Amino acid sequence: MSVRAFSLFFALLTVGADVFVLVALVLAATSRFSEGSASALRWIRDMVGGSSLVLAWIVAAVATLGSLYYSEVAHFLPCKLCWYQRIAMYPLAVVLGIAALRSDHGFRRYVLPVVAIGAGISAYHYQLERFPAQASLACSVDVPCTTVWVWQFHYISIPFMALSAFALIATLLLLGPLPEQDLIEAEPEHTEKEVSR
C-alpha cells in the first residue's frame, strides 16, 4: 500500500470515528428529552459496553501504529506537538490492553485525563495548521508544527486523526459499564449495585 492509500485508510477510519462520536454525543445530549434517543443510547451501551475497553485499546493501538507508520515508513518528521500527542497516545496502547484483559473498567478514571490532554493538544495543533500565521510568519528550518502532511476529505489532517482517536477512546470508555464511584451519572439498571449508608 502506498502512503496515499494509508492516508486514505486512516482518513476513512477517522470519518467513522467522528460519526460514532457525534452520534453518541447527540444521543447523550437529547436522551433527557427524547425517549427515542435514550433507548438508542441504551442500545449502543448494550452493544459496546462490555467490550468498551477492548475497543478503546484497538483504537489506541491503531492510532499508535498509524503514527509509527507515518514517522518510520513514510518518513514524515514528527514536530514538537506531534511528540506531545504521541506521549499521550502511546501508553494507552499498552495500559488499555492491560485494563481490557483485567476487565478493569474503573481504570478509565486514570486514562480519561490523559485522553483529554491529548485531545486538547491535537485540537490546538489542528487549528495551528489551519491558521499558521499565529505561530510565526516563517517556517523554521527543522520541523515546523504548521506543516500539513496529510489532507483528506477537506478536513482531515494527522492531528485531526489523533483528535478523533482521542475522542473515540473517551466516548468508548464513557459508554462502558459503570464501575464504583464512577465519573458519569448512574443509570437505573446500575443502581441496584449501589448501597448507600
Partner 1 sequence: MTRRKVTRARPGAGERKSDRRGRGRSRAGPVLFGLVGALVVAAIIAIVAAGGDDGRESSAPARVTVTGQSLPALPESSDPAVGLPAPTLEGRDFEARPVRIEDDGRPKAIIFLAHWCPHCQREVPLVQDWLDQEGMPAGVDVYSVTTAIDPAQPNYPPDEWLRREGWTPPVLVDDEKGSAANAYGLTGFPFFVFIDAEGNVASRFAGELTIEALQAYLASIEAGAT
- Find the shortest distance in angstroms from Cβ 75 to partner 1: 4
- Find the shortest distance in angstroms from Cβ 139 to partner 1: 4
Cα–Cα distance, 95 to 84 (Å, whole number): 18
What's at 123, amino acid-wise?
A: A
Residues 6+ apart with CB under 8 A from 92: 56, 57, 60, 64, 111, 114, 115, 169
| Closest to 146 (Cα-Cα) out of 85, 66, 71, 81 | 81
The one among 18, 23, 37, 49 contacting partner 1 by CB under 8 A = 49
Q: Which is nearer to partner 1, 33 or 142 (CB)?
A: 142
Q: Is 152 helix (H, G, I), strand (E, B) or coil?
A: strand
8 binds partner 1 (CB under 8 A): yes
- Find the shortest distance in angstroms from Cβ 85 to partner 1: 18
Residues 6+ apart with CB under 8 A from 160: 14, 122, 126
22 binds partner 1 (CB under 8 A): no
Burial class (CB in 10 A: 0-12, 13-18, 19+), 182: middle
Residues 85-124 that bind partner 1 (CB under 8 A): 102-103, 105
Cα–Cα distance, 195 to 197 (Å, whole number): 7
The one among 23, 38, 40, 74 contacting partner 1 by CB under 8 A = 74
Residues 128-187 that bind partner 1 (CB under 8 A): 129, 132-133, 136-141, 144, 146-151, 176-181
The one among 32, 75, 185, 188 contacting partner 1 by CB under 8 A = 75
Interacting residue ranges for partner 1, rule: CB under 8 A: 1-9, 12-13, 16, 45-51, 54-55, 58, 62, 74-76, 102-103, 105, 129, 132-133, 136-141, 144, 146-151, 176-181, 189, 193-197
